[in-house]
């Protein structure tokens, strides 16, 4: 089919659309960042039923992180409270200093005005974030989580009970270290971590790492019960 004139036309159309769409998405995502308010954010209600005013957009990329999807970013699905954004950017930057090869994929966080963001059950008041797990290749080198559209932008990936998926495995030591970095940066901005959701079978794997043993009070924030979806490929944090 591809050799036929119609096939060639179809292939050319796909390439053309992609070539036009990519810069458009890029521009739309960064335009959202540029248009962000400078007024303090106002978070109302709870993570399960709330709203957000003067939200901030998590940039598509920066030191130590990049978005799960340029489309999701352009559509405005990565808004949070200003203090949450600042906390995350600082925590990614801190992690980047100690582990420069690591690039965390940021997931969905919230809409510009908060409220229901399907299919999530919370993420309503700008205080919830999803971040994809830090993963390594078999030889231990950091890899970015593959968040392609055909895996529901990463959310449909299924890691086994020990944190493996094909050649990738979850780096629980890097995760524990990152959670401490988030905690430090949150406190510096008058926030605290209220809840961390990872799938229950990963809680002991996280706690038995070197940094996991030093989580202290933060260890009590880990949920021990299964959530509405299995949090294997990403973890969720609620701030308060
Ligand atoms: Zn979430």
pLDDT in tens, the chain (240 residues): 556 788 888 888 888 887 888 899 999 999 999 999 999 999 999 999 999 999 999 999 999 999 999 999 999 999 999 999 999 999 999 999 999 999 999 999 999 999 999 999 999 999 999 999 999 999 999 999 999 999 999 999 999 999 999 999 999 999 999 999 999 999 999 999 999 999 999 999 999 999 999 999 999 999 998 888 999 999 999 999
What is the CA(10)–ligand 1 centre distance, in A? 38
Reduced to 3 states (helix: H, G, I; strand: E, B; else coil), residue 2 is: coil
Fold of 36-239: Muramoyl-pentapeptide Carboxypeptidase; domain 2 (3.30.1380)
pTM, full prediction: 0.92
What is the CA(129)–ligand 1 centre distance, in A? 6
Reduced to 3 states (helix: H, G, I; strand: E, B; else coil), residue 171 is: coil
Which of these, 110, 114, 80, lies nearest to 182 by C-alpha position?
80
Q: Helices (H), strands (E): how many in the chain?
A: 5, 14
What is the CA(130)–ligand 1 centre distance, in A? 5
What is the CA(235)–ligand 1 centre distance, in A? 7
Which of these, 182, 167, 50, lies nearest to 106 by C-alpha position?
182
What is the CA(9)–ligand 1 centre distance, in A? 41
Cβ atoms < 10 Å from Cβ of 116: 15
What is the CA(7)–ligand 1 centre distance, in A? 41
What is the CA(120)–ligand 1 centre distance, in A? 6
What is the CA(187)–ligand 1 centre distance, in A? 21
| pLDDT of 3 | 64
What is the CA(196)–ligand 1 centre distance, in A? 10
């Amino acid at each position: 089919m591809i050799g036929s004139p119609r096939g060639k036309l179809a292939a050319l159309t796909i390439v053309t659309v992609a070539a036009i769409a990519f810069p458009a998405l890029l521009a739309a995502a960064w335009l959202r960042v540029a248009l962000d308010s400078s007024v303090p954010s106002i978070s109302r209600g709870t993570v399960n039923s709330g709203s957000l005013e003067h939200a901030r957009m998590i940039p598509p990329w920066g030191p130590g992180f990049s978005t799960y999807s340029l489309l999701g970013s352009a559509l405005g699905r990565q808004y949070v409270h200003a203090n949450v954004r600042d906390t995350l950017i600082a925590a990614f930057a801190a992690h980047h200093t100690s582990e420069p090869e690591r690039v965390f994929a940021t997931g969905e966080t919230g809409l510009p005005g908060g409220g229901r963001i399907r299919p999530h059950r919370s993420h309503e008041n700008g205080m919830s974030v999803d971040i994809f797990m830090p993963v390594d290749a078999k030889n231990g080198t950091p890899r970015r989580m593959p968040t392609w559209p055909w895996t529901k932008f990463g959310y449909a990936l299924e890691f086994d009970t020990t944190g493996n998926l094909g050649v990738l495995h979850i780096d629980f030591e890097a995760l524990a270290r990152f959670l401490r970095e988030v905690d430090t940066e949150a406190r510096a901005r008058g926030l605290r971590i209220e809840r961390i959701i990872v799938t229950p079978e990963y809680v002991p794997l996280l706690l038995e790492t070197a940094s996991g043993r030093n989580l202290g009070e933060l260890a009590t924030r880990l949920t021990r019960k299964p959530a509405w979806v299995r949090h294997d490929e990403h973890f969720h944090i609620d701030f308060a």
